[in-house]
Amino acid sequence: MIGSKKQASLIALAASLASGAAHAQQALPTIEVGATPLRSTSRPSPTVAAAPAVRPAGPAPAPAPAPYISPLVTYQVPASVHVVDSREIANSRKFNLGEALQRTAPGVAINDVGGNPSFPEVDYRGFVASPFAGVPQGLAVFQNGVRINEMWGDTVNWDLIPSVAIDRIAIETGNPLYGLNAIGGAIVLDMKNGFTWQGSELDIRGGSFRRRQGVFQYGRKIADFAIYAAGEASGDSGYRYFSGSQIKRFYGDIGYRAESVEIHANATLGSNHFGASGPSPVELVAVDKSSTYTTPQTYKNQVMMFDLNGVVDVSPTTRLLGDIHYRGYNQARVDGNTTEFECEGGEDFCTTGDGQPTSVPNFFNTGDELIRGPALGAIDRTWTKINTLGFTGQLNNTDKILGFPNRFTVGVNLEHGYTGFKANQELGIINADYTVTGFNYFTNEPAAGIAPVNLNVSNYYFGAYALDALDLTDQLTVTGGLRYNRASVQMYDNVGTALNSTHIFDHINPMGGLTYKITPQIAAFASYSVANRAPTPLELGCSDPNRPCVIDAFLVADPPLKQVTSNTIDMGLRGGFRPAEALPDMLGRLPGTVQWSAGIFRTNVFDDILSIPSQIVGRGYFTNAGNTVRQGVELSMRYADERMWAYMNYTLTDAYFNSQNILGSPNNPAVVAVGSTGVMVNPGATLPSIARHRFKTGVDY
**DSSP secondary structure of 321-370:** EEEEEEEEEEEEEEEEEE-S-EE-TT-SEEE-TT--EEEEE-TT--S-TT
Expressed as residue numbers, the domain containing 303 is 32-700
Q: How confident is the model at residue 694 (pLDDT cuts 50, 70, 90)?
A: very high
In angstroms, how far apart are the furthest CA atoms of the chain?
A: 94
Please give the helix or strand (H or E) that residue 525 lies within, else none. strand 522-533
Tell me the whole-structure pTM to 2 decimals.
Answer: 0.84
- 614 backbone dihedrals φ, ψ, rounded to 5°: -95, 165
Q: Is residue 432 part of a domain?
A: yes
Q: Pick the residue with more confidence: 366 or 7?
A: 366
According to DSSP, residue 445 is labeled B
Residue 222 belongs to a domain = yes
Q: Is the pLDDT of residue 291 over 50?
A: yes
Look at residue 530 and tell me if it is in a domain.
Answer: yes
Res 206 pLDDT > 70: yes
φ and ψ at residue 454, rounded to 5 degrees: -140, 105
Cα angle: 419, vertex 543, 110; to 5 degrees: 75
Confidence label for 556 from pLDDT (cuts 50, 70 and 90): low
**Mean pLDDT, range 285-306, rounded to an integer:** 88
Q: Is residue 19 part of a domain?
A: no
- pLDDT, position 536: 84
The percentage of residues in the chain with a pLDDT greater than 70, rounded to a whole number, is: 78
Cβ atoms of 174 and 182 within 8 Å: the answer is no
Q: Based on C-alpha coordinates, what's the Rg of the chain?
A: 26
- What is the number of alpha carbons within 13 Å of residue 378 lying toward its C-beta? 22
Q: Tell which residue, 585, 446, 586, 600, has the closest CA to residue 527.
A: 600
Mean pLDDT of the chain: 80
Which range has the top average pLDDT, 71-75, 294-298, 439-443, 570-574?
Answer: 570-574
Angle at 599 between CA 597 and CA 601, to 5 degrees: 145
Question: What pLDDT does 363 receive?
Answer: 46
Q: What is the CATH number of the domain that holds 370?
A: 2.40.170.20
**Cβ-contact 655, 630 below 8 angstroms:** yes
Identify the burial level of 501 via C-beta atoms within 10 angstroms of its C-beta, where 0-12 means exposed, 13-18 middle and 19 or more buried.
middle
Average pLDDT of the residues in 358-374: 47
**What kind and span of H or E run contains 259?**
none
Looking at the domain assignment, is residue 601 inside a domain? yes
The CA distance from 611 to 485, in Å, is: 24
**Cα–Cα distance, 645 to 231 (Å, whole number):** 26
Lowest mean pLDDT among 78-87, 223-232, 470-479, 581-590: 581-590
CA distances from 16 to 36, 108, 140, 150, 394 (A): 6, 24, 16, 23, 9
As a whole number of angstroms, the distance between CA 41 and CA 260 comes to 7
Phi, psi dihedral angles at 581 (to 5 degrees): -100, -25
Q: Please report whether residue 658 resides in a domain.
A: yes
Is the residue at 171 inside a domain? yes
1 within a domain of the structure (yes/no):
no
584 versus 470: the higher-pLDDT residue is: 470
Q: What is the pLDDT of residue 38?
A: 40
Tally of helices (H runs) and strands (E runs) in the chain? 6, 36
Of 173-187, 387-401, 414-428, where does mean pLDDT reach its minimum? 173-187
Contact criterion met (CB below 8 Å) for 451 and 491: no
Query: DSSP letter string over 403-436?
Result: TB-EEEEEEEEEEEEEEEEEEEEEEEEE-TTSBE
Asked whether the beta carbons of 546 and 54 are under 8 A apart, the reply is: no
The percentage of residues in the chain with a pLDDT greater than 90, rounded to a whole number, is 43
Q: How confident is the model at residue 377 (pLDDT cuts 50, 70, 90)?
A: confident
Categorize the per-residue pLDDT at 467 as very low, low, confident or very high, splitting at 50, 70 and 90. very high
Domain count along the chain: 1
> pLDDT for 503-551, tens place per residue?
999 999 999 999 999 998 899 999 999 999 988 887 887 766 666 666 5
The confidence score (pLDDT) of residue 560 equals 72
Assess contact for 543 and 614: CB atoms under 8 A. no
Q: Give the DSSP H/E element, type plus range, for residue 87.
A: helix 86-91
